Amino acid sequence: MAILPDFNNNNEMKSKSLDVLQKMCLQFLKDNNYSESTIEKYRGFWKNGINTYCQSNGITEYHPTVGQDFLRLIYSDQIGKNKYQEYLKGVRALDDILVYGKIKSHKAAVVTYDFDCVIGQKMSLLIAELEELNCRPYTIKEYKRVLWIFLDYLKTNNIWSLKDISEEIVLSYLDSIQQNRNNYTLKIRRLFKFWKKQGILDNGIAEALNTIRLSRREPIPSYFSPEEVIEIEKSVDRNTCKGKRDYAMILLASRLGLRVSDIVNLKLSNIDWDNSKISLIMEKTGRNIELPLLADVGNALADYLRNGRPKTTLRNVFLKEVAPYGEMTSGCAYSAFNHAIAKSKIYIDNRHHGPHAFRHSLASAMLGQGTTLPVITDVLGHSSSETTMSYIKIDIQKLMACALEVPVVDDKFYTQKGGVFYE
């Protein structure tokens, strides 16, 4: 369940007629270009939620404590999570209009990882070292996440001191990981190696973890054929604002190989129209990359910016298609890509078919056209050609061309006498 809204005493003193307050909310939604379907949803949130509660309790004047009492009541009744979120959204709208005069954007709370116990404090020393080594924020965040989950596992098993951490409990934890086990193993291994080096804990666990064999299987990446890419692009309805946006995003992935993180964070300043190029710092690697603004990509971007993008002061190229027009998120972009793929009706089977498959597809197409590996590496923004090598595994025809014929072996080879096999 979500955390109940909280207001200070000054805000709690504000009150207004429930009917008037809801009319103010509806007017705000209309003034800010919310769709009629969204406005109707808010009416439903109130009709089946706070309105029924207020009528049953003879309440006509609304203030934030009324909303909190209502939410506590339905929270204790253990209603479904989705239904609770709907009622919470309706209450927050009323509270925002009453207190701030507008409906605020309630973003998901930033996840924090508390290393508050003795073991957690020792884990924090590794995090501090990673920060001193200037590791990338994403890497540090991943270490925090994995170590926090491990810490929670130890607490669940009533382990609160370093001396109680045994080899059995660590291996049991790693065995409980169902996905990305390599990632967890490497980070836990580094933790115990760090503890041993610092003299914090040396009970043989670091050596035991070194004996764990990690899976080295590298699956052939999923990709689309050039014909499938075209079908996906054609499936987008470019007559709508959303379609213009989605088409431009897909072309940035299929023609330039940009990751979703770079697409949603693309700024207007990254596009150099005069010199027909796109320059940006890649979110994942932090590398500067410069790509040609191909004609079809430029035309799609121009069409969206002129005819589909909402009027706003935000500098992000791509925005959400419904009010309030905020910045695009990776989740929104993934949804747009997957919708286009599903609409194209291409055969997916068991292939991974998210936005990243377009990068693999571009690499495959370039390799098929005889583009050299260093050029493909530059286009994809990889730090080395070794990373790009994983992409060329998808070109089966090229790999088959490299195979050597096996010469026919005469039967006499198998029937001959002598040699080490017959001594």
CA-based nearest residue to 233, from 346, 318, 376, 317 = 346
Question: What string of DSSP letters covers 139-199?
Answer: HHHHHHHHHHHHHHHHHHTT--SGGG--HHHHHHHHHH--S-HHHHHHHHHHHHHHHHHTT
**Would you please indicate which residues are annotated as catalytic (active-site) residues?**
259, 284, 356, 359, 382, 391
End-to-end Cα separation, the chain, in angstroms: 76
Kindly list the averaged pLDDT for each block of 10 residues, start to end, along the chain of length 423.
41 75 92 83 90 90 89 70 84 91 72 85 95 86 91 90 92 82 90 94 88 62 75 91 93 85 91 92 80 90 92 88 77 84 78 68 65 62 59 52 57 55 46
What is the structure's pLDDT at 422? Answer: 46
* Tokens representing residue 300 in the block: 């799609």
Backbone angles phi, psi at 292, to 5 degrees: -70, 140
What domains are there in the chain, each with its CATH number? 9-100 (1.10.150), 118-210 (1.10.150), 226-398 (1.10.443.10)
Q: How many whole angstroms separate alpha carbon 145 and alpha carbon 40? A: 39
Which among 307, 330, 292, 315 has a CA at the least distance from the CA of 244?
307
Give the model's pLDDT for residue 291. 86
- 3-state SS, residue 277: strand
Q: What is the pLDDT of residue 192?
A: 94
User: What pLDDT is recorded for position 391?
Assistant: 56
What CA–CA distances, in Å, run from 251 to 228, 269, 345? 13, 19, 18
Cβ(313)–Cβ(322) under 8 Å? Answer: no
Query: How is residue 156 written in tokens?
Result: 């669940």
pLDDT (0 to 100) of residue 330: 80
Specify whether the backbone of 199 is left (phi greater than 0), alpha (psi in -120 to 50) or beta.
left
Query: What is the C-alpha to C-alpha distance for residues 204 and 121, in angstroms, rounded to an integer?
Result: 21
How far apart, in whole angstroms, are the C-alpha atoms of residue 146 and residue 60? Answer: 49
Quote the pTM value: 0.54
| Cα–Cα distance, 278 to 294 (Å, whole number) | 10
